Amino acid sequence: MTTQTAALEIVALTPAFAAVAAALHQTGFEDCWDETAICDLLAVPGAFGLLAFVPKGRQFNRETVVDDRPLGFVLVQTVLDEAEINTIVVDAKARRHGVGNVLMQGVFARLQNQASTRLLLEVACDNAAAIALYGKLGFVEIGRRRGYYRRKEGPAMDALVMERV
């Protein structure tokens, strides 16, 4: 699809953006995280987040953005030489424009500086969009947690454990 990444800026996700991040999370998850949950995760030693936004006045998806527009964020937990993607979400209205890819590239750049060696994540086995994104970025399945994601409706879904190789 179209890539609009030239319009994007990436900044550190700090607790000041927790409300913005909580609103974005709501667009992506049934079991979404509120401001407190996001602040708590950011407060864990070794955690960091990145926020993607389009600054006021720039064009994104053929529209001029009137106010700074947050589009997505990623939250990562590092422990020694391992890192795990805790969550990544892009505003439902802004998907397939390269935002998720840019956020992940930001994570790779940041981890390179920290000399982290392994990058892991978990994803529901029916989440085709996320699995496609991760596959494109070099992640492969290394394990599976049976029935890990319990939903309000429908059967529990396996989690794929993926590692970037």
Ligand X SMILES: CC(C)(COP(=O)(O)OP(=O)(O)OC[C@H]1O[C@@H](n2cnc3c(N)ncnc32)[C@H](O)[C@@H]1OP(=O)(O)O)[C@@H](O)C(=O)NCCC(=O)NCCS
Does residue number 136 form part of the binding site for ligand X (CB under 6 A)?
A: yes
Does residue number 51 form part of the binding site for ligand X (CB under 6 A)?
A: no
How far apart (Å, rounded) are the C-alpha atoms in residues 91 and 107? 18
Nearer to ligand X, 39 or 120 (CB): 120
Does residue number 70 form part of the binding site for ligand X (CB under 6 A)?
A: no
How far apart (Å, rounded) are the C-alpha atoms in residues 120 and 61? 31
Q: Is 89 helix (H, G, I), strand (E, B) or coil?
A: strand
Cα 118 to its chain centre, rounded Å, is 17
Q: Which of 95, 107, 116, 160 binds ligand X (CB under 6 A)?
A: 95
Does residue number 123 form part of the binding site for ligand X (CB under 6 A)?
A: yes
Angle, vertex CA 6, rays to CA 19 and CA 23, nearest 5? 15
Does residue number 50 form part of the binding site for ligand X (CB under 6 A)?
A: no
Provide the binding-site residues for ligand X, judged by CB under 6 A.
Answer: 1, 28, 88-90, 95-101, 123, 127-130, 132-133, 136
